[in-house]
Structure 1
């Protein structure tokens, strides 16, 4: 099993939205960064994902989801009415991927970036370093466990 952190704006897709989606999970689409896309391509069924709310009043890790559908072509890249449309993509040569995430747990409190910066196992993680914050970040098992312990 692998561990990840994925950032989202909660008015677009929050931990509550993921919970409401049920067993089929939510479609996680619209990622338009090659490094983040490549990380998504590494995801496998059951991988655990920390959900990080950004661009909102309470910024930080809000809960956990799991990958319930591994990477597949993002359908929005082919939809000319979508803000995620890519004229260079085609069904024969897709450029972008999506996944599906299923709810695991909501944290009792959002774990702030300031609190995360104080967690020793995260000292080398891109999340706590300026200018390094992709929308998809790999986590080690130790990092994931340390974050999860902050909610216990």
Structure 2
């Protein structure tokens, strides 16, 4: 089993939204490196949900991958913000996975805290200018975060 961190802006889609829905497609990924990470995800992989573009960016909860990567239908919808005119149904460019809610983290683990943790010293999340919405998480990083939180 692998571990991942998925960034989301809570005004667009929050951990509470995921909890309310139970399961949701993680769509709208339009970065090739992030898409390639999506394609590596396997059913049962666990993810940290990270709220970005907030006063205190932080890991706020956990989810689980419930479907492996498959074409993101928003790429074919001209009404969608994520429409890609160059993508074709017979050769889709963009994928999504379905995520299920697992738990909230109490307290959330802030980006500032992650930057202070030796386990995260090489993780791209803590580097200035990182814009990836999906980041692989090592087993030591995963365990270091879980040791700081209560899952509720």
Structure 1 and Structure 2 fold alike (TM over 0.5): yes
1:67–1:101 Cα contact (<8 Å) kept: yes
Instruction: Trace 1:117-136 onto structure 2 (pairs within 5 A).
Output: 117-136=115-134
- Counterparts of 2:129 and 2:72 in 1: how far apart (Å)? 26
Give the TM-score normalised by structure 2: 0.95
Moved over 6 A (4+): none
- Counterparts of 1:69 and 1:15 in 2: how far apart (Å)? 18
- C-alpha deviations, 1:39-65, integer Å up to 9, x for none? 000000010100110112332100110
Instruction: Trace 1:1-152 onto structure 2 (pairs within 5 A).
Output: 1-22=1-22, 25-152=23-150
1:58–1:110 Cα contact (<8 Å) kept: no
2:48–2:63 Cα contact (<8 Å) kept: yes
Query: Structure 2 regions of 5+ residues with no counterpart?
Result: none
Query: Structure 1 regions of 5+ residues with no counterpart?
Result: none
Give the TM-score normalised by structure 1: 0.95
* Local SS of the residue matching 2:67: strand
Aligned length: 150
Stretch moving more, 47-56 or 126-135: 126-135
